[in-house]
């Protein structure tokens, strides 16, 4: 039938595109639907596209290290997609700058992270305060924790002593164009038989005999399928509600408004080594940007109010006081940083779970699957996330009950295997989480 597919993927961001690609390679006839005009147009386009290996749990570190191998050899991941409508000059550029992470009391001087890196065989090196200057010339290494708001009279006042240094992770960096990365994968998926349709909104998850039977679009078109995958980013909670699966989930997702500042880097950075930074003493992260600029994001300190958004199609796109707060916090560490009069950057939504870790799972509705809670922290894992979803769906289709017999997933590049129940919708909140993001 013309409107019949083996699997329908809702959302064509980078993870949705990777899911379509992996399912298609397994022989599924897939259809990707997105209400926006092209792949990666939504929250993917607002990502800082940072690639890193350090997380707060073994499983997430393992995924990230595995994912790094795909970004560093992007053309190999895309395979036959190159040359099938996708030219080499159309590919994204991955800049492997490495990541410099400050040792702070918040991250326990990175002791557990380094132990996890040792267990995974992922390289890193300790950097003392003097050596930090090669990355951050003129850096003020005094402690400023805990973070404060600008109206706090103690903002910008050192709180005693210095940070002890940092850890440099060489396997990390950033992608120059996150939206294009989703388009790259779209072409690769199409080369393997996948179909993508844009400006299409799903209004109903059709169910018959207690399982998924299709989706109904806003124009009244019904598409028949036995598999629906929710990869709708900040809209994921709305899609889960449409499917009626939220009552069967311990873990939920919700859209969170965030701002990223775009500023001119100090001239002293011209001769420095470009690097991604994460600093939980001043609660900011940074990423180099073209033209001698920096992107500055928040690591979500307790003093900052979180702005949850119930309607992801209607939220404030204007910059707030958070923008200046981000820049001023970085200026504590980088005194040469100029504070612009005009705010530039990105205002967008994250899709986050209660413990800020993703849900890669089935649901209580047979045939309905979820890749949710991914905004801000899972861009770097997109190629692996696509493989994870394909593995769970294929196992279920072959009669395995992922709830009772969790899928064991092989990370082929790092030669490790993890149990995918770690990402279950019914997990307990992971108290080891940082409850923050480097987006």
Please give the domain boundaries of the chain with CATH numbers for all domains: 4-93+176-252+355-423 (3.50.50.60), 97-165+258-350 (3.30.9.10)
Gap between the Cα atoms of 113 and 55, Å rounded: 7
Mean pLDDT score of the chain, rounded to an integer?
A: 95
Is the per-residue pLDDT at 434 higher than 90? no
Cβ–Cβ < 8 Å for 437, 376? yes
Cβ–Cβ < 8 Å for 189, 14? no
pLDDT band for 431, please (50, 70, 90 cuts): low
pTM for the model stands at 0.96
pLDDT at position 51: 97
List the beta bridge partners of residue 220.
Answer: none
Gap between the Cα atoms of 26 and 116, Å rounded: 32
pLDDT at position 84: 75
Is the per-residue pLDDT at 325 higher than 50? yes
Residue with tokens 């030219």: 87
In degrees and rounded to multiples of 5, residue 412 shows phi and psi of: -70, -30
Is the per-residue pLDDT at 436 higher than 60? no
Is the per-residue pLDDT at 369 higher than 90? yes
pLDDT at position 430: 59
pLDDT band for 81, please (50, 70, 90 cuts): confident
Cβ–Cβ < 8 Å for 351, 253? yes
Mark 375-388 as b/e (b = at least 16 C-beta within 10 Å). bbbbbbbbbbbbbb
Gap between the Cα atoms of 215 and 205, Å rounded: 5
Closest by Cα among 3, 1, 10 to 367 = 10
pLDDT at position 77: 96
Per-residue model confidence as pLDDT tens digits over 141-153: 999 999 999 999 9
Higher-confidence residue: 172 or 354? 172
Neighbours of 398 (CB within 10 A): 7
Mean pLDDT across 271-282: 96
Residue with tokens 């981000």: 326
> How many Cα neighbours within 13 Å face the side chain of 328?
15
Is the per-residue pLDDT at 433 higher than 60? no
Cβ–Cβ < 8 Å for 147, 282? yes
Gap between the Cα atoms of 100 and 436, Å rounded: 17
Spell out the residues 6+ positions from residue 86 whose beta carbon is closer than 8 angstroms to its own. Answer: 78, 184, 187, 188, 191
Ramachandran area for residue 287 (φ above 0: left; ψ -120 to 50: alpha; else beta): beta
Gap between the Cα atoms of 224 and 211, Å rounded: 12
Mean pLDDT across 260-283: 96
pLDDT at position 439: 47
Is the per-residue pLDDT at 282 higher than 60? yes
Q: Do the bridges between strand 228-230 and strand 368-372 make them parallel or antiparallel, or are there none, so unpaired?
A: parallel
Closest by Cα among 217, 254, 227, 236 to 9 = 227
SS3 36: coil
**Taking each helix axis from N to C terminus, what angle separates 178-191 and 14-25, rounded to the nearest 10 degrees?**
20
């Amino acid at each position: 039938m013309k409107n019949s597919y083996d699997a329908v993927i809702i959302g064509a961001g980078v993870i949705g595109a990777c899911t379509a690609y992996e399912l298609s390679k397994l022989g599924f006839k897939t259809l990707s639907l997105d209400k926006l005009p092209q792949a990666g147009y939504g929250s993917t386009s607002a990502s800082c596209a940072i690639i890193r290996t350090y997380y707060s749990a073994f499983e997430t570190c393992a995924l990230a290290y595995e994912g790094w191998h795909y970004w560093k050899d992007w053309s190999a991941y895309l395979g036959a997609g190159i040359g099938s409508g996708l030219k080499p000059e159309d590919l994204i550029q991955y800049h492997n700058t490495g990541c410099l992470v400050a040792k702070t009391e918040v991250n326990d001087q990175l002791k557990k992270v380094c132990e996890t890196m040792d267990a995974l065989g992922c390289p890193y090196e300790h950097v003392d305060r003097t050596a930090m200057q090669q990355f951050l010339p003129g850096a003020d290494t005094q402690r400023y924790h805990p973070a404060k708001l600008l109206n706090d009279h103690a903002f910008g006042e050192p709180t005693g002593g210095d940070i002890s240094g940092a850890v440099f992770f060489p396997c990390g960096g950033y992608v120059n164009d996150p939206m294009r990365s989703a388009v790259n994968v779209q072409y690769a998926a199409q080369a393997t038989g996948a179909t993508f349709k844009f400006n299409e909104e799903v209004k109903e998850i059709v169910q018959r005999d207690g399982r998924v039977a299709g989706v109904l679009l806003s124009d009244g078109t019904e598409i028949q399928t036995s598999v629906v995958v929710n990869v709708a980013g900040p809209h994921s909670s709305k899609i889960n509600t449409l499917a009626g699966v939220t009552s069967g989930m311990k873990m939920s997702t919700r859209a969170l408004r965030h701002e990223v500042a775009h500023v001119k880097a100090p001239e002293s950075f011209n001769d420095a080594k470009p690097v991604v930074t994460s600093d939980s003493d001043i609660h900011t992260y940074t990423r180099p940007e073209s033209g001698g600029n920096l992107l500055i994001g928040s690591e979500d300190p307790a003093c900052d109010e979180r702005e949850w958004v119930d309607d992801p199609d209607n939220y404030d796109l204007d910059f707030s006081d958070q923008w200046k707060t981000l820049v001023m916090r970085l200026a504590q560490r980088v005194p040469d940083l100029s504070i612009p009069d005009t705010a530039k950057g990105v205002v967008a939504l994250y899709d986050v779970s209660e413990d800020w870790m993703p849900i890669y799972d089935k649901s209580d509705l047979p045939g309905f699957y979820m890749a949710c809670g991914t905004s801000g922290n899972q861009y770097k894992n997109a190629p692996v996330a696509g493989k994870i979803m394909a593995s769970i769906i294929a196992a279920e289709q072959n009669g395995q009950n992922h709830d009772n017999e969790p899928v064991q997933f092989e990370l082929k590049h790092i030669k490790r295997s993890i149990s995918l129940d770690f990402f279950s919708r019914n997990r307990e909140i992971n108290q080891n989480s940082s409850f923050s993001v480097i987006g």
